C-alpha cells in the first residue's frame, strides 16, 4: 500500500481520526490521535515529531526530538475506538540525520530480514508464535511501603467451588486443558477475540482453554518476521481490549498464579529460499536438514542470552521452573514437549518442517525476540554448531545420573541479562542489533526491574520470618 492508497483507505472507511502507533524498547504500543483533517500524504515522507525522552529506553532529554515515519502497509481500522479510527504503525528516525533509530524494535526486525538475505542462507524466515494469556474477573494489587500484595479471581477457578454464588463446573488445579462448556467459561470471549483479530488481518487457526484456570491460547497462522511481530502486537491489543469490554482483565504475565501452569509463547521457526524450505531432509533425525540441526545448535548455545529478550521479566522465571511443563532443559527432541526445542511431527509434508523454541513467553517484545532467535539460528548455521544429541525421553522424569550434563535455562532475569552482556556478538552481525541498544536494554532491566523487585519485601517472607 502506497501513501496515496493509505489516504484512500482512510477516506473509504470514513475515518475521523488516525491513530499513530509505535513500539517502545520493551514491547509496548505507544500512540497519539490526529484528526484526519491534519493527517496528509506528506506525513509518510516528512514524519511526525514526538518526545523520545518520555519513552522507555529511548532518548535523553537533551536529544529528545524524534520523528515517527508511518508505514502505509501497516494501516488497519481500530475495532475499539468510539470514533472511526485508522491505525498506522510507525518506525522511528532521527530528525537531524533522517537515519532510522537504532533502538526502534521494528527497525531491528527490518535489518534482521535483510541480513538473512545477505547471508545467502535463505530469503524468508517464517515465525509462528503460540501466545498464551490469562483472563480474570478481577486483578488487584498494591505496592505501598507498608502494604503489598495481589488478588486474582475468576469464576471457573477451583477455589470458588465452595462459593454459594458460583454457577458450578469449576476447573481443578492444572485441569484446564481442553474442557468443553460449561466448564470452559471463556470460550465465547475467545471467539469474540478471534472475530476481532480477523477484522484486522490476523489469520486465526484455532482457540482453546489452557491448563491453568483462566488460561487461554489463540493460535495464528505463521508469517514473515516483521509482519508476524506486527500481528502479535495487534493480538495483545485485541485480547486486552476484548476482555476489558467484557468486564474482565487479561494479562500476559507468564506466572500470575502460584501452583498452576504459567503462560509461554512457543515460537515455531523455519527458513526458506526461492520458495523452498531449507529445513527438511528425509534422511535426518525427525526429518531435519543439516541446516535445521545447526540452527538448533545456535538456539541452544545462545539460549541464556536469548532469554533476555524472549523471557524478559522477573516473573518469567517463576514459570521456568521444574514441575509445571516448563521447557527448562536445553535439549532438542521430536514430539517431546519437555525439551526446550521440539520438532513437531504432526505432518509428513516437507513444507511443515520447522523447529519450535519453547522457552519464550508473551511478555517478549516480538520484534526483538524473533530477530534474536533468527540471529542465533543463523550463527549456528554459519558456524555449523552441533546441538547435544537428541533425547527422546521425558526430561522431567530423568533419574539424576541421566540428568548429568544437561544444561538448563537461567534461573533469573538478572542471570540472563549477564549472559546477554557476555554473549551478544552474534546479534551485532549485519548491524542488526547495536551495542547501544543492548547496553541500554540491559541497564534498564537491571535497574528498573531486577533491582526494584529485589529491594522490596515479599509477602511470603512474612509467613516465613515474621514470628522468629
- Alpha-carbon gap, residue 40 to 37, rounded angstroms: 8
Over residues 320-359, the pLDDT tens digits come to: 987 667 788 898 988 776 789 999 888 888 899 999 999 9
- Alpha-carbon gap, residue 9 to 68, rounded angstroms: 20
- Alpha-carbon gap, residue 111 to 65, rounded angstroms: 23
Q: Quick one: pLDDT at residue 62?
A: 78
Of 104, 356, 361, 379, which residue is the catalytic one? 356
User: What does pLDDT average to over the chain?
Assistant: 93
Of 19, 93, 104, 130, which residue is the catalytic one? 130
Of 19, 104, 217, 242, which residue is the catalytic one? 217
Residue spans per domain, the chain:
3-101, 118-465
Percentage with pLDDT > 70 across the chain: 98
- DSSP secondary structure, 147-193, as one string: EEEEEEE-TTBGGGTT-TT--S-PBPTT--SSPPTTT-TTHHHHHHH
Sign of CA dihedral 59, 61, 62, 67: positive
Architecture of domain 118-465: 2-Layer Sandwich (3.30)
Asked about 14 being catalytic, the answer comes back as no
Candidates 454, 456, 434; CA nearest to 445 is: 454
Judged against a pLDDT cut of 80, whether residue 156 lies above it is answered with: yes
Determine phi and psi for 135, rounding to 5 degrees: -125, 125
**Exposure class string for 440-452: b at 16+ Cβ within 10 A, else e:** bbbeebbeebbee
Asked about 358 being catalytic, the answer comes back as yes
- Alpha-carbon gap, residue 97 to 43, rounded angstroms: 17
Asked about 424 being catalytic, the answer comes back as no
The answer to which of 33-37, 56-60, 146-150, 442-446 has the lowest mean pLDDT is 56-60
Over residues 48-67, the pLDDT tens digits come to: 999 988 999 898 877 888 89
- Alpha-carbon gap, residue 440 to 296, rounded angstroms: 28
Mean pLDDT, range 276-295, rounded to an integer? 95
Q: Quick one: pLDDT at residue 164?
A: 66
The answer to which of 85-89, 249-253, 298-302, 344-348 has the lowest mean pLDDT is 344-348
Asked about 132 being catalytic, the answer comes back as yes
Of 266, 268, 342, 354, which residue is the catalytic one? 266
Q: Quick one: pLDDT at residue 272?
A: 97
- Alpha-carbon gap, residue 193 to 209, rounded angstroms: 13
Coil, helix or strand at residue 94: coil
Asked about 337 being catalytic, the answer comes back as yes
Of 106, 190, 293, 358, which residue is the catalytic one? 358
Q: Quick one: pLDDT at residue 1?
A: 74
Mean pLDDT, range 108-123, rounded to an integer? 97
Mean pLDDT, range 223-243, rounded to an integer? 98
Q: Quick one: pLDDT at residue 166?
A: 74
List of residues 6+ apart from 285 with CB closer than 8 A: 293, 334, 390
Asked about 217 being catalytic, the answer comes back as yes
Q: Quick one: pLDDT at residue 460?
A: 93
Of 19, 104, 156, 210, which residue is the catalytic one? 210
Over residues 72-99, the pLDDT tens digits come to: 999 999 999 999 999 999 999 998 999 9
> Residue with C-alpha cell 522490596?
456
Of 46, 51, 282, 451, which residue is the catalytic one? 51
- Alpha-carbon gap, residue 450 to 453, rounded angstroms: 5
- Angle at CA of residue 361, ends 359 and 364, nearest 5°: 115
The residue ranking higher by pLDDT, 3 or 423, is 423
Q: Quick one: pLDDT at residue 284?
A: 92
Over residues 118-145, the pLDDT tens digits come to: 999 999 999 999 999 999 999 999 999 9
Q: Quick one: pLDDT at residue 396?
A: 67
Fold of 3-101: Ubiquitin-like (UB roll) (3.10.20)
Over residues 412-455, the pLDDT tens digits come to: 999 999 999 999 999 999 999 999 999 999 999 999 999 999 99
Of 71, 78, 113, 132, which residue is the catalytic one? 132
- DSSP secondary structure, 360-429, as one string: --TTS-HHHHHHHHHHHHHHHHHTTPPPPPP--S-GGG--HHHHTT--B--SSHHHHHHHHHHS-HHHHG
- Alpha-carbon gap, residue 430 to 443, rounded angstroms: 23
Asked about 51 being catalytic, the answer comes back as yes
Sign of CA dihedral 306, 406, 410, 416: negative
Over residues 374-405, the pLDDT tens digits come to: 999 999 999 999 999 887 777 667 777 777 77
Of 192, 318, 337, 418, which residue is the catalytic one? 337
Under a CB-based contact definition with an 8 Å cutoff, are residues 50 and 35 in contact?
A: no
Amino acid at each position: 500500500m502506497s501513501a496515496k492508497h493509505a489516504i484512500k483507505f482512510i477516506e473509504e472507511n470514513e475515518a475521523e481520526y488516525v491513530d499513530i502507533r509505535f513500539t517502545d524498547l520493551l514491547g509496548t504500543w505507544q500512540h497519539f490521535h490526529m484528526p484526519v483533517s491534519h493527517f496528509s500524504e506528506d506525513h509518510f515522507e516528512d514524519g511526525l515529531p514526538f518526545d523520545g525522552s518520555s519513552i522507555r529506553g529511548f532518548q535523553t532529554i537533551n536529544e529528545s526530538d524524534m520523528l515517527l515515519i508511518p508505514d502505509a502497509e501497516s494501516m488497519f481500522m481500530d475495532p475499539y475506538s468510539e470514533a472511526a479510527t485508522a491505525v498506522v504503525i510507525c518506525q522511528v528516525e532521527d530528525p537531524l540525520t533522517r537515519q532510522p533509530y537504532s533502538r526502534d524494535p521494528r527497525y531491528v526486525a527490518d535489518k534482521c530480514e535483510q541480513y538473512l538475505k545477505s547471508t545467502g542462507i535463505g530469503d524468508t524466515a517464517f515465525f509462528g508464535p503460540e501466545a498464551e494469556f490469562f483472563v480474570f474477573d478481577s486483578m488487584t494489587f498494591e505496592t505501598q511501603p507498608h502494604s503489598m500484595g495481589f488478588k486474582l479471581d475468576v469464576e471457573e477457578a477451583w477455589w470458588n467451588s465452595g462459593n454459594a454464588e458460583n454457577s458450578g463446573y469449576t476447573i481443578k488445579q492444572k485441569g484446564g486443558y481442553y474442557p468443553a462448556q460449561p466448564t470452559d467459561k471463556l470460550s465465547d470471549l475467545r471467539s469474540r477475540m478471534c472475530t476481532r483479530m480477523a477484522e484486522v488481518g490476523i489469520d486465526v487457526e484455532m482457540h482453546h482453554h489452557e491448563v491453568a484456570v483462566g488460561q487461554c491460547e489463540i493460535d495464528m497462522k505463521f508469517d514473515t518476521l516483521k509482519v508476524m511481530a506486527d500481528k502479535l502486537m495487534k493480538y495483545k491489543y485485541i485480547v486486552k481490549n476484548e476482555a476489558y469490554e467484557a468486564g474482565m482483565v487479561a494479562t500476559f504475565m507468564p506466572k500470575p498464579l502460584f501452583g498452576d501452569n504459567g503462560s509461554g509463547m512457543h515460537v515455531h521457526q523455519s527458513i526458506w529460499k526461492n520458495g523452498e524450505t531449507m529445513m527438511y531432509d528425509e534422511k535426518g533425525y525427525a526429518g531435519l536438514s543439516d541446516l535445521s540441526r545447526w540452527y538448533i545448535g545456535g538456539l541452544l548455545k545462545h539460549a541464556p542470552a536469548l532469554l533476555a529478550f524472549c523471557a524478559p521479566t522477573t516473573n518469567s522465571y517463576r514459570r521456568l521452573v521444574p514441575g509445571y511443563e516448563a521447557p527448562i532443559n536445553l535439549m532438542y527432541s521430536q514430539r517431546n514437549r519437555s525439551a526446550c526445542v521440539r520438532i513437531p511431527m504432526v505432518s509428513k509434508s516437507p513444507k511443515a518442517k520447522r523447529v519450535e523454541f519453547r522457552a519464550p513467553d508473551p511478555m517478549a517484545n516480538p520484534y526483538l525476540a524473533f530477530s534474536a532467535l533468527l540471529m542465533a539460528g543463523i550463527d549456528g548455521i554459519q558456524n555449523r554448531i552441533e546441538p547435544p544429541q537428541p533425547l527422546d525421553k521425558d526430561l522431567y522424569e530423568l533419574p539424576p545420573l541421566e540428568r548429568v550434563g544437561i544444561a538448563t535455562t537461567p534461573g533469573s532475569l538478572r542471570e540472563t541479562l549477564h549472559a546477554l552482556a557476555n554473549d551478544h556478538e552474534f546479534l551485532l552481525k549485519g548491524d542488526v542489533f547495536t551495542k547501544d541498544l543492548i547496553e541500554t536494554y540491559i541497564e534498564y532491566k537491571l535497574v528498573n526491574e531486577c533491582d526494584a523487585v529485589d529491594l522490596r519485601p515479599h509477602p511470603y517472607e512474612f509467613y516465613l520470618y515474621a514470628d522468629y
